Amino acid sequence: MVLLHLVDAFSDRPFSGNPAAVCLLDAPRSDEWMQQLANELGYSETAYVARVDSGLSLRWFTPTIEVPLCGHATLASAHVLWSVGRAQGTVRFETKSGTLTCERKAKVIQIDLPRSELSDVPPPVGLFTALGGAKPVTLKRAHNDQLLVELADEDSV
């Protein structure tokens, strides 16, 4: 059995925030199957959660590739597990980026992400447009070529 949930991360109302699909699997599925479903859904990320011997496995696929880490889909996955009664308290996910831990803190979810060395980087072409004109307070590149973009406040996010 597969349970599919559509979650708007970083928001308390539907059709806002950062959408992610969360797929709760009864058993691990093939990479091809997960890629095909992610492509069909068309979300920026689809998260796949499965029980494994070590606990919970979590993987993320865009419509075209598997990615090594996705924060908003991890938060969405923890939210879904708590909402459907499949987890209580701290949630630990085994991922290709290491163990990720999520905890509920009042009305927010706190996530413990892996540490990465950061370096200064100039803004890529199109970044300001992609951010709706918001100017980053901080812009860094991680060793895995991902960008860390810090914005001034919640409204900018």
The residues assigned a catalytic role are 45
The HSE-up count of residue 41 (CA atoms within 13 Å, CB side) is 25
Burial 34-73 (b: 16+ CB within 10 A, else e): bbebbeebebbbbbbbbeeeeebbbbbbbbeeebebbbbb
> Could you give the CA distance from residue 23 to residue 6 in angstroms, rounded to a whole number?
9
> Could you give the CA distance from residue 98 to residue 105 in angstroms, rounded to a whole number?
22
